[in-house]
Amino acid sequence: MAKRPYDKWFGKNDAPLVWKAATRTMNQTVPQSFIDEEIRKDPANALSEYGAEFRTDIEAFISMDVLRSCVQSGVYERPPELRWRYYCFTDPSGGSSDSFTLAIAHKEGNTVVLDLIREVRPPFSPEQVVEEFAAVVKKYRITKVVGDRYGGEWPRERFRICGLNYELVDLTKSEIYQALLPIINSNQAIMLDHDRMVLSVLFLGTSHGSRWKRFDRSSAPNARRHQRRLCRCDCPCEYSSFGLEQENHSLHAFQRRSTANNAL
């Protein structure tokens, strides 16, 4: 993350060039009135975006160090094994703007183990993606996928055609996000080495103009456009969630902030 090279190299000789400067220091054409208004609406986000300040509110949700400790380095996917019972969550998309995602996981005692992630970015044929996902899911001996209400009956019908039951998730996205926190903090999750997923889980604590605690993302205006793609593992008596970014702009926004605010 951006803060690590800053702490390591800022202000030191014989080190890569690292600078930290607010937006108006670098570009005085940006009106101060605009920045003041952004600070009024969301101080934490604005100070990070325009003031070159590292965010502390995100750390309050989930620490990057803790998150990284849950990632099994060098493991990008786990093949199915007969000894485990697997669970699947999918987040459908119509194929024009959002990604279509899928995650498979199993439990080992109290630990949730993420086995597989799939993300198909638009444009794509949703019918074809369902067929591809169904083929993958069946390799893990899964007969039921869990997903949200997006698309009404369409996802349920398409998965039924492919021989899989589609069960509606019984939690809101905000509830799933909140259920994830103790699992990560107690190191009861083993995640794949997937940078897009790690960044997305980290950014579950942010939104455009609001912090996650202040609203239910599933009912917010334009929520689907701004939500990170959610992949949830429906394990007995316990919920865990793993994020994939919905659109490239989420990752690009992170990269722009890292460059503009902390200049790696």
Domain residue ranges of the chain, discontinuous segments joined by + = 3-62+254-262, 65-252
pLDDT of residue 36: 85
Four-residue CA torsion sign, 77, 107, 182, 205: positive
The span from the CA of 79 to the CA of 163, in Å, is 21
75 pLDDT tier (thresholds 50, 70, 90):
very high
Strands 111-120 and 189-190: parallel
pLDDT digits (tens, 9 = 90+) for 49-72: 888 776 655 554 577 788 889 999
Q: Which helix (H) or strand (E) holds 9?
A: helix 3-9
Fold of 65-252: Nucleotidyltransferase; domain 5 (3.30.420)
Q: Which residues pair with 89 in a beta bridge?
A: 103, 146
Q: What is the SS3 assignment for 221?
A: coil
Ramachandran angles phi, psi of 124, nearest 5°: -160, 170
pLDDT of residue 161: 97
Most confident by average pLDDT, 10-24, 33-47, 115-129, 211-225? 115-129
pLDDT digits (tens, 9 = 90+) for 157-211: 999 999 999 999 888 777 887 788 889 999 999 999 988 888 777 766 554 333 3
